[in-house]
Amino acid sequence: MRIHDTIAGLRAARGSAGRVALVPTMGNLHEGHIALMTQARSHADQVIATIFVNRLQFRPGEDFETYPRTFQADCEKLAAAGVEHLFAPTEAEMYPQPQTYQIEPPPEQAGILDGEFRPGHFRGVATVVMKLFQIAQPDVALFGKKDYQQLMVIRNMAREFNLPLEIVGGETVRAADGLALSSRNGYLSAAERTQAPNLYRILCNVAEAVRGGSRDLAKLEKDAVLELQASGWIPDYVALRKKVDLQLPSAHDSGLVVLAAARLGSTRLIDNLEV
Ligand code: PAF
């Protein structure tokens, strides 16, 4: 695997790489990321992974400084997965001057759900992803469905800007007990790690109730929030939304997804399940 820390270096390598799949990450790679690398391989001749902890998408007081940085271990995993190129720029390479031009996704997509609790987060994500697309010029780019709203924002950005690339979503990879793999799981204490799979269990119950014909979505959401609270979580939201645009469903809409974000101690976890 070739490691590039400059835009010029990556661009030179990309020139002769044929059909390219890009998998942007912030590192601290787990099986979910590696599944995306494997999926990327089936779409392209060469895979470019990126590792860049993007300051722009963190709010003051969030975990930018402490976000786990495990570069050597990440390189070993990517090499073992057969990834051809890793782009791992410094902040000075990505943001040599303040990023005054940014991508502002519409509030009805980026100001809801996670965007309501992390204002500006999706602006930071969209901006860095747009930059990575301009730098790597991929034919296809892959993002995990665990970050469902992020995937929607990036898909819509690519479509509305006529970007010449395909956006592909990868299925969430879970631990045996159901917990969605996430770099932030490492923050959990042993007791919290035991409690953490309940988030997925509760989402499964909501999805099951909807599949079984229950249409009082507000009650399902409220009961799920209460159940989380009763087990010591501090939920930001549990929300049933339309898969296509994450807007509120009307009575007869099908194609729903249930999404949740909740804090366990100081760790904020998100998860979702298509119904
Ligand atoms: O999902 C992530 O890891 C990040 O939000 C991304 C897409 C790499 C942008 O920094």
Starting at the edge strand found earlier in the chain, the sheet holding 46-51 runs 2-4, 85-87, 46-51, 20-25, 140-144, 166-170
Q: 26 with 106, same domain?
A: yes
What is the pLDDT at residue 251?
Answer: 78
Tell me, letter by letter, the H, E, C secondary structure of 239-270. Answer: EEEECCCCCCCCCCCCCEEEEEEEEECCEEEE
Task: Answer yes or no: is the C-beta of 114 below 6 A from any ligand 1 atom.
Answer: no
Q: State which ligand 1 atom lies nearest to the alpha carbon of 132.
A: 9
- Average pLDDT on 166-186 reads 97
Number of domains in the chain: 2
pLDDT band for 65, please (50, 70, 90 cuts). very high
Q: Which distant-in-sequence residues (6+ apart) come within 8 Å of 33 by Cβ?
A: 23, 25, 49, 77, 144
Phi, psi of 65, rounded to the nearest 5 degrees: -65, -35
Residue 15 has pLDDT above 90, yes or no: no
Q: 190 with 160, same domain?
A: no
What is the pLDDT at residue 60?
Answer: 95
Q: 145 with 230, same domain?
A: no
Q: 141 with 229, same domain?
A: no
How do residues 191-221 score in pLDDT, each as one tens digit? 999 999 999 999 999 999 999 999 999 999 9
Q: 95 with 212, same domain?
A: no
Residue 17 has pLDDT above 90, yes or no: no
Nearest CA to ligand 1 atom 6: 25
Q: At what angle do helices 121-136 and 148-160 cross, to 10 degrees?
A: 50
CA distance linking residue 141 with residue 227, whole number of Å: 37
Is 198 contained in some domain?
A: yes
- Beta strands 256-264 and 234-242, pairing class: antiparallel
Q: pTM surpassing 0.85?
A: yes
Length of the chain: 275
Query: Would you call 33 a catalytic residue per the annotation?
Result: yes
Task: Answer yes or no: is the C-beta of 169 below 6 A from any ligand 1 atom.
Answer: no
- Average pLDDT on 8-36 reads 96
What string of DSSP letters covers 106-157?
-HHHHSSTHHHHSTTHHHHHHHHHHHHHHHH--SEEEEETTSHHHHHHHHHH
- 6: containing domain: 2-170
Maximum Cα interatomic distance, the chain, rounded to a whole number of Å:
56
Q: Which of 145, 170, 195 is the last residue of a domain?
A: 170
What is the pLDDT at residue 113?
Answer: 98
Is 175 contained in some domain?
A: no
Indicate the average pLDDT of the chain: 97
- Average pLDDT on 232-261 reads 95
- Best residue among 28, 53, 129 to mutate for probing ligand 1, ranked by most atoms within 8 Å of CB: 129
Tokens 């994450």 appear where? Answer: 246
Q: 105 with 210, same domain?
A: no
What is the pLDDT at residue 114?
Answer: 98
